[in-house]
Amino acid sequence: MTLHPMISALRRHKAGVVLIALQIALTLAIVCNAIFIIGQRIDRVNRPTGLDENNLFLVSQQWVGAPSGDDAASVDKLDTMQLEDLAALRNLPDVASVVPINSLPLLNSSWNGALSLKPDDKKSFIHTTYYFADEQALSTLGLHLIAGRAFTAGDVQHQGMRDQRDPSIVIVTKAIADKAFPKGDAVGKVIYLNGAGKPVTIIGVIERLQVPATGSWVNDFAWNSMLIPARLNANFSRYAVRAKPGRLEAAMRAVTPTLYKVDPLRVLDDDSVRSFTYIRQQAYEGDRGMAILMGIVCLILICVTAAGIVGLTSFWVGQRQRQIGVRRALGARKIDILHYFQLENLLIAGVGVVIGVLLAVGLNMWLMSHYEMTRIPLLYVLTAVLAMLALGQAAVFVPARRASNVPPVTATRAV
């Protein structure tokens, strides 16, 4: 079949052809970018934190009328209170281990700083986040030590919340170790924190630990975490608790009464005991909502476009009844008629997707300049192109088959 008669036929329907092509182009551009956004959000939501998230939960509590924490004596008092809590929690039958910690990944409450390889260096540094924890950190959080050693009870200090002293030893993530010491010999090396002059020795490297913040501002240091062997003392505290396998709910239920028994002068509300699953859900709820919304919009958009193609093609079929009849009477088979409409749709859709690809790339570039977006991979565009062509073929099938069923005798009748 040659394209020539088809093109001259389409010329007589300029407006309709332009509209279908335009609709396909716009749909392609929007769906392509929307699916790219969905993909990005899914990648974000699925990235592992480095924790063993099952059976893990977090307790956040505040003492009422606690000492100020501004002088050494009150810091000591706060530490005693924290140690009492820890002892009580560690004694619970359903609890495997407990670590006092200032934050957890996805909690969006963080203490960030910078490390450098030279003392008093304020210019070249690596961003990092600090987790203050004790010797039970690795076992409770389920972190994998890949070099060096873990903290021992003797390493662990305690300090007031606003005490800016630097530790003498730390454990860093592989992300930091690789960046600071590309040769892979980070253990035993000395670093300096926050542009200060005190040497800090790396004693261990863990495989992976995400920073607490999930916003895009941490994108360039999302895995740069550092463990500091210290309990932070303030009028509030957080404890990460690992329940024994399968005993998560029982352990979570036991926490509130236990802590109230240790000291009733504190605030523990509904939000104080949260499983990590819940924390993860909360952290990414916005992303999930966005992905679902984009998905629904894409689906409806595709349906609308398909319905539009069906509608316009049906109209053309109706309009060309007589011509189809003439063709059939002159010897065209049903399949020829079917192919004619299918090829016609392919031609229009082809023009549409070419414009659509240009629009999609343009839209992506516009989004990149206004929002946090990266360049759309070619794969997405190609998939979308094939999907739109397939959509066009699927949509045109029903009216095209109706056309192929037009009997040759129509040619002799008036429309």
Residues that bind another protein (CB under 8 A): 15-16, 19-20, 22-23, 26-27, 29-30, 34, 37, 62, 64-65, 68-70, 122, 160, 162-164, 235, 265, 267, 269, 282, 285-286, 289-290, 293-294, 297, 300-301, 304-305, 307-308, 311-312, 314-316, 318-319, 367, 370-372, 414-415
- Check if the beta carbon of residue 401 is closer than 8 Å to that of residue 313: no
Closest CA to 392 of 341, 358, 318: 341
Closest CA to 278 of 56, 20, 116, 85: 56
Nearest residue (CB) to another protein, 272 versus 342: 272
CA dist 360 and 345 (Å) reads 21
Sign of CA dihedral 122, 128, 133, 135: negative
Q: Could you tell me if 259 and 88 are in contact, meaning their C-beta atoms sit under 8 angstroms apart?
A: yes
**What is the nearest approach in angstroms of another protein to the Cβ of residue 68?**
5
Minimum CB separation of residue 264 from another protein in Å reads 9
In single-letter form, the type of residue at position 60 comes to S
> What Å distances lie between residue 283 and 42, 178, 225, 288, 393, CA to CA?
13, 28, 18, 10, 42
Cβ closest to another protein, residue 297 vs residue 358: 297
Residue 131 or 316 having the CB closest to another protein: 316
Q: Give the shortest CB-366-to-another protein separation in angstroms.
A: 9
In whole angstroms, the minimum distance from the beta carbon of 160 to another protein comes to 7
CB of 57 to another protein, least distance (A): 20
Q: How many CB atoms lie within 10 A of CB 14?
A: 9
Q: Please, what is the minimum distance in Å from the beta carbon of residue 287 to another protein?
A: 9
Phi then psi for residue 119, to 5 deg, are -70, 150
Residue among 268 and 332 whose Cβ is closer to another protein: 268
Say how far apart CA 46 and CA 215 lie, in whole Å: 15
Q: Tokens 């495997």 map to which residue?
A: 96
CB 331 to another protein: min, Å:
25
Dist. CA 103–CA 132, nearest whole Å: 8
Of 258 and 319, the one with the shorter C-beta distance to another protein is 319
The CB-of-150 to another protein minimum distance in angstroms stands at 29
For another protein, the closer of residues 22 and 332 by Cβ is 22
Cβ proximity to another protein, 16 vs 408, nearer residue: 16
Q: Quick check: 125 and 195 in contact, CB under 8 A?
A: yes
Residue with smaller CB distance to another protein, 293 or 390: 293
